[in-house]
Amino acid sequence: MLKINNLHVQLEEEEKQILKGVNLEVEPGKVHAIMGPNGSGKSTLSYVLAGRPGYQVTEGTAHLGDVDLLNIEPEERAAAGLFLAFQYPVEIPGVGNMTFLRTAVNAQRKARGEEEMSAAEFLKVIRAKAKTLKIDADMLKRPVNVGFSGGEKKRNEILQMAMLEPKMCILDETDSGLDVDAMKLVSEGVNALRDQGRGFLVITHYQRLLDHIKPDVVHIMSDGRIIKTGGPELALEVEHNGYADILSEVA
Amino acid sequence: MAAPKQINTTETEARIDTLTLPQDGWSAGSRADALARLRAMGLPGRRDEYWKFTRPDALVQADVPATEVFANDEAPLMDGQPCLRVVFVDGVFDADASDDLALEGIEISRLADTSADIHWAQSLHGTLETAGQTPVARPLAALTTAFATDGLLIRVTGQPDKPVNVIYNRSSDSADAMLHHVIKLEQGTKLTLLESGPAAARLNTVMEVDVADTAAFHHVRTQGRDHQRLAATHVFARLGEESIFKSFTMTANGKMTRNECVLDLKGDDAVAHVAGACVGDGDFHHDDTVFVTHDAVNCESRQVFKKVLRNGATGVFQGKILVKAGAQKTDGYQISQSLLLDGDSQFLAKPELEIYADDVACSHGSTSGAIDDEALFYLRSRGVPVELATNLLTLAFLAEAVQEIEDEDLRADIETRMSGWLERHRT
């Protein structure tokens, strides 16, 4: 599904190396978690995969299936099936949430040569999906993320994911800013999408999200590299002992 | 203090020489007065403070250079819906294309019809324009009051069930049109006035609107998409107690547009909103000059102007809120913003507040910016192609101004025009 090979990335504006050779493969239907201390490059990895400007890939590759992600535009990556749930979802005044989502769904369908969704069909689908995420009609009508609470923004990300039905989902600290109930709601939304061979890459600081979204594989990232890979028990080890043990172990 | 203004006599007289002052009918006296006003101030020159950002030459010069007439494939506002259609072509009334000038709730006639004895119009014609000459001179308005060849005289006595829809078509390559509309809303009445179309190679208009107590005037206009047209428009309004005045203008293209709006809030609790959204690409100069005077208690005024500029287009905003002594509880708001889609375009803004009352809330702001990179990436990351994402964000930028239109159908009509323009003007 997602295959990252020896990925080296630096900031475009300064010659600061952030990723120093990341290797990672997420198989269809699997959930991989990436944990690691602040500044280890976790968010950079998610942005580079999604195509955010400001980063320069100096070495390595990233493929989604057969698609070479790093040489195409962000919208093409999305149409190929990549989805990034943002750590800080962007507020867009003046663009209605519903308009935004319908534009996105149909733009992706068009790019893939599929038929566009009619207004009526779209409305039916989004209402059902919004309901399970406890997103009310008012939130759908309001401008994208404007005036949304932290929890509402994250639920809105999951709604977008549910509507766009990507192959590969990257969740960048989706748990940050969520209370226990909201975390449960978001996790249920993610778990509902865990079928049909979707791959997940869940970036988090904390084990608690992984209580709700059970990972198959856990990676520890530090200083731009994945330094340790293991099963779910690795996350529990971090929870109990922090990163220090693991960092000294590999050092 | 500024040095005494040097009057631009040569150019003023050269322009006057090309025009004929109508001598007959009830307006002869106020036209002669307007001509005297014009001569006393002279046509605008580049040194005039209110013409610093906009070169007046094209609007002042006696001749109108012949320019190509843009294929007019643009439907008027509320096309096909119930309204009283009044059509002018190059500023000349087109009786065949117009409806009969009759509508329940209004008295309507034409300025060119000198046979009528229209007392209400006679006592209003030129008076709001005259009042609006202080403290800032507006010579092109005086010129239009003196020489306008036609226009509508509308006295609103009720609440007509449909709008008056003025359609300005253009067919000549060099017509110089001058129109003067005089509108009087009696107490408790309502009128919606629509204007659309390129009008003429060069258009000068004055619209005087007297809104009596508790009356409501809604005005929506689209200035035609003709690339080469020149226009200097003026709206002068006086607002009575608890009256409402709302005006929105959309401008797409046009080589030179100067829209002046002078509002005088004379009665307590009056509300005045004036808004504009313009989109310009290349050889485009658009100037909104607004002057709002608060002269009564507890009035509200809003100025919302948004400009999207690219390929060397220029936008100008000069907006003033004057709160007179005693105009307590004034709520004045003014925002002017430009979205510069490239580095070649420019936006020049002069927001002004002058306040002589101590219990008022006035705010003003002016910004220039580019498309928000974060928002653009967010949209693209969801699969929205970059051009479409840019258009969505551009429309979102314009939304605050377009939202000022109260009528939902008209708002949707304007939004469709805006997005159509953006579709056609992709880089």
User: Cβ B384–A104 below 8 Å, yes or no?
Assistant: yes
The pLDDT of residue A202 is above 90:
yes
Q: How much is the average pLDDT of A22-36? A: 94
pLDDT in tens, A75-90: 999 999 999 999 999 9
User: Cβ B396–A50 below 8 Å, yes or no?
Assistant: no
| DSSP bridge partners of A109 | none
Cβ contacts from A onto B, under 8 A = 81
- Cα B412 versus chain centre, distance: 20
User: Cβ A94–B395 below 8 Å, yes or no?
Assistant: yes
Tokens 């922090």 correspond to A242
- Asked if A108 reaches chain B (Cβ–Cβ under 8 Å), the answer is yes
User: Cβ B396–A52 below 8 Å, yes or no?
Assistant: no
pLDDT at residue number B277: 98
The shortest CB-CB distance from B377 to any of A74, A104, A164 is to A74
3-state secondary structure (DSSP) of residue B128: helix
Residue A120's CATH number: 3.40.50.300
In chain B, how many domains are there?
1
- Asked if B371 reaches chain A (Cβ–Cβ under 8 Å), the answer is no
Q: Which residues of B touch A111 (CB under 8 A)?
A: 383, 385
As averages over each run of 10 residues, the pLDDT of chain B (427 residues) reads 71 94 92 97 92 96 91 87 97 97 96 86 97 96 98 98 97 96 98 96 98 98 93 98 98 96 98 97 96 98 97 97 97 97 94 96 95 97 96 95 96 94 82
- Asked if A107 reaches chain B (Cβ–Cβ under 8 Å), the answer is yes
User: Cβ B385–A143 below 8 Å, yes or no?
Assistant: no
Assess contact for A63 and A72: CB atoms under 8 A: no
Residue-range definition of the domain harbouring residue A232 = 2-250
Q: Is residue B4 part of a domain?
A: no
Residue of chain A with shortest Cα separation from B383: A75
pLDDT at residue number B1: 45
- Asked if A52 reaches chain B (Cβ–Cβ under 8 Å), the answer is yes
Distance from C-alpha of B160 to C-alpha of B277, rounded to nearest angstrom: 27
The ipTM is 0.96
Q: Which helix (DSSP H) or strand (DSSP E) does residue B32 occupy?
A: helix B28-41
Smallest CA-to-CA distance from B392 within A157, A90, A70 is with A90
Residue-range definition of the domain harbouring residue B261 = 9-296+308-319
User: Cβ A143–B381 below 8 Å, yes or no?
Assistant: no
User: Cβ A84–B374 below 8 Å, yes or no?
Assistant: no
Q: Is residue B214 part of a domain?
A: yes
User: Cβ B384–A52 below 8 Å, yes or no?
Assistant: no
CA distance A78 to chain B (A): 5
- Asked if B32 reaches chain A (Cβ–Cβ under 8 Å), the answer is no
Q: Is residue B161 part of a domain?
A: yes
Q: Which amino acid is at A56?
A: Q
Q: What are the two backbone dihedrals, phi and then psi, of residue A206, each rounded to the nearest 5 degrees? A: -120, 150
Q: Which residues of B touch A105 (CB under 8 A)?
A: 383
pLDDT in tens, A171-181: 999 888 888 88
Distance from C-alpha of B368 to C-alpha of B376, rounded to nearest angstrom: 17
Q: Which amino acid is at B224?
A: G
pLDDT at residue number A251: 62
* End-to-end Cα distance, chain B: 46
Q: Which residues of B touch A90 (CB under 8 A)?
A: 374-375, 377-378
pLDDT in tens, A137-150: 899 999 999 999 98
Q: Is residue B273 part of a domain?
A: yes
The pLDDT of residue A191 is above 50:
yes
- Asked if A117 reaches chain B (Cβ–Cβ under 8 Å), the answer is no
Write out residues 398-417 of B within 8 Å (CB-CB) of A.
Answer: 398-400
pLDDT in tens, B343-399: 899 999 999 999 999 999 999 999 999 999 999 999 999 999 999 999 999 999 999
Q: Is residue B357 part of a domain?
A: no
Task: Say if residue B160 is preceded by a cis peptide, omega within 30 of 0.
Answer: no
Instruction: Sort strands B361-369 and B331-340 into parallel, antiparallel or unpaired.
Output: parallel
In a 13 Å sphere around the CA of A31, the CA atoms on its Cβ side amount to: 21
Helices (H), chain A: 42-50, 74-79, 97-111, 119-132, 137-141, 150-164, 180-192, 208-212, 233-241, 244-250
Exposure of B41 by Cβ count < 10 A (0-12 exposed, 13-18 middle, 19+ buried)? middle
pLDDT in tens, B300-356: 999 999 999 999 999 999 999 999 999 999 999 999 999 999 889 999 999 999 999
In chain A, how many domains are there?
1
Q: Is residue B258 part of a domain?
A: yes
- Asked if B392 reaches chain A (Cβ–Cβ under 8 Å), the answer is yes
Q: Which amino acid is at B419?
A: S
